[in-house]
């Protein structure tokens, strides 16, 4: 049996009795029922995942997944491809946006290369999981072979396994770096949903109107040419995806199999998360959506998976930046459950219908 199917089979169910116990405690806390909104659902789900009402998530990791994209040959991004590798070095030296926001959240940033068009020295402290030096140009041919897509997902699973071999891991936030990677992400949600690429394509790093309609046309043409099968997530990934997107899908599956909650970042991370959720709906109870990206395809992905984003900060950066910020919200959710006293505990009159 392959690592992928074996790992999918290992994904546990979350603990319903702990979920129910958490909801009961939340409903009896000395405040109006339901008044903490999304924090309550997050809190109950984390309790069910961790099998305790007194959970803490001290060991937090952002896995920033990098890869390059042949589709940049079609002029779909403002930045040159070299920036992907340059940013990997920036992550390693700690000066990038994700380093700053992860430090603030008390999370460690680890970088994984699934397909950057650059030779990194073997001693660079990243997860070396390169499948190829970038995808092919999916405007002209499929982005990768089917076996490459499976290998990239399995490389994501191995990344989680490697990380867990060296550290305790309570939560993983996904992140991405790859010049051109909003195009495969929009293509993926278009392939699954059947909605026109035009409605799912955003400006990426800052395209103008002309650039935006060119990008949408490139994606639409590619989808018509390759006809990815929406019932076959590996086919979608192979035909219009990316190596870092596949890696993220593998990370989601690998984390869920170990009972680790995953915070999905923006458009690209959620494209990977969507591939994982389509491959195995059993991943869904372990998933949290960090934020609502400005990128228009993101909302469609979240709706399809069934996730409500925690933050709406008009961000569109990636790297895992939204996931880092949302980790603080999930940390708050863990405290809510155990630390807020009930009406009984503090001897306060409850509302009559509660």
- Taking the C-alpha atoms of residue 173 and residue 193, their distance in angstroms, rounded to an integer, is 25
Smaller CB separation from its own copies, 56 or 140: 56
Residue from 152, 252, 310, 323 binding its own copies (CB under 8 A): 310
Considering the complex, what minimum distance in angstroms separates the CB of residue 239 from its own copies? 27
Q: Is 140 in the site for its own copies (CB under 8 A)?
A: no
CB 272 within 8 A of CB 252: yes
Quick one: three-class SS letters along 284-304? HHHEEEEECCCCCHHHHHHHH
Judged by CB under 8 A, which stretch of 51-59, 65-73, 93-101, 298-306 contacts its own copies?
A: 93-101
Q: Is 96 in the site for its own copies (CB under 8 A)?
A: yes
* Catalytic annotation, pick one of 319, 328, 339, 344: 319
Residue 311 phi/psi, 5-degree rounding, is -115, 145
Q: Find residue 262's DSSP bridge partners.
A: 172, 287
* Footprint of its own copies on 249-308 (CB under 8 A): 294
Considering the complex, what minimum distance in angstroms separates the CB of residue 44 from its own copies? 14
Q: Is 100 in the site for its own copies (CB under 8 A)?
A: yes
Q: Is 315 in the site for its own copies (CB under 8 A)?
A: yes
Q: Is 28 in the site for its own copies (CB under 8 A)?
A: no
Judged by CB under 8 A, which stretch of 67-75, 147-155, 162-170, 333-341 contacts its own copies?
A: 333-341
Annotated active-site residue 319? The verdict is yes
Task: Kindly give the interhelix angle for 146-166 and 243-257, rounded to the nearest 10 degrees.
Answer: 50
Burial of 327 (0-12, 13-18, 19+ CB in 10 A): buried
- Taking the C-alpha atoms of residue 336 and residue 311, their distance in angstroms, rounded to an integer, is 18
Residue from 52, 59, 79, 198 binding its own copies (CB under 8 A): 79
CB 172 within 8 A of CB 263: yes
* Footprint of its own copies on 30-69 (CB under 8 A): 30-39
CB 74 within 8 A of CB 201: no
Considering the complex, what minimum distance in angstroms separates the CB of residue 298 from its own copies? 13
Q: Is 198 in the site for its own copies (CB under 8 A)?
A: no
Contacts of residue 78, defined as CB under 8 A and 6 or more positions apart, other chains included, come to 204, 205, 206, 207, 211
The residues that are catalytic are 319
């Amino acid at each position: 049996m392959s690592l992928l199917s074996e790992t999918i089979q290992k994904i546990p169910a979350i603990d319903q009795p702990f979920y129910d116990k958490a909801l009961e405690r939340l409903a009896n806390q000395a405040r109006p029922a339901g008044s903490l909104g999304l924090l309550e659902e997050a809190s109950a789900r984390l309790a069910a995942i961790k099998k305790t009402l007194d959970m803490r998530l001290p060991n937090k990791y952002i896995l920033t997944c990098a890869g390059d994209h042949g589709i940049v040959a079609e002029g779909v991004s403002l930045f040159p491809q070299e920036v992907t590798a340059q940013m990997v070095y920036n992550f390693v030296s700690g000066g990038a946006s994700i380093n700053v926001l992860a430090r603030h959240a008390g999370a460690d940033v680890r970088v994984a290369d699934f397909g950057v068009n650059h030779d990194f020295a073997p001693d660079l402290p990243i997860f070396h999981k390169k499948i190829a030096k970038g995808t092919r140009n999916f405007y002209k041919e499929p982005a990768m072979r089917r076996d490459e897509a499976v290998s990239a997902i399995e490389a994501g699973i191995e990344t989680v396994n490697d990380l867990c071999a060296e550290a305790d891991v309570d939560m993983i936030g996904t992140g991405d770096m790859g010049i051109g990677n909003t195009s495969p992400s929009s293509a993926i949600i278009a392939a699954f949903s059947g909605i026109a690429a035009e409605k799912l394509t955003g400006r990426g790093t800052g395209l103008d109107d002309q650039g935006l309609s060119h990008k949408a046309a490139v994606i639409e043409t590619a989808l018509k040419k390759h006809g990815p099968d929406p019932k076959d997530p590996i086919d979608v990934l192979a035909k219009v995806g990316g190596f870092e997107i596949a890696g993220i899908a593998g990370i989601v599956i690998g984390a869920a199999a170990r009972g680790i909650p995953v915070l999905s970042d923006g458009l690209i991370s959620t494209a990977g998360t969507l591939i994982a959720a389509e491959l195995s709906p059993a991943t869904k109870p372990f998933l949290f959506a960090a934020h609502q990206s400005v990128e228009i395809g993101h909302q469609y992905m979240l709706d399809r998976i069934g996730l409500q984003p925690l933050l709406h900060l008009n961000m569109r950066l990636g790297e895992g930046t939204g996931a880092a910020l949302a980790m603080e919200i999930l940390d708050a959710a863990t405290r809510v459950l155990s630390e807020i006293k009930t009406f009984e505990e503090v001897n306060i009159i409850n509302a009559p219908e509660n």
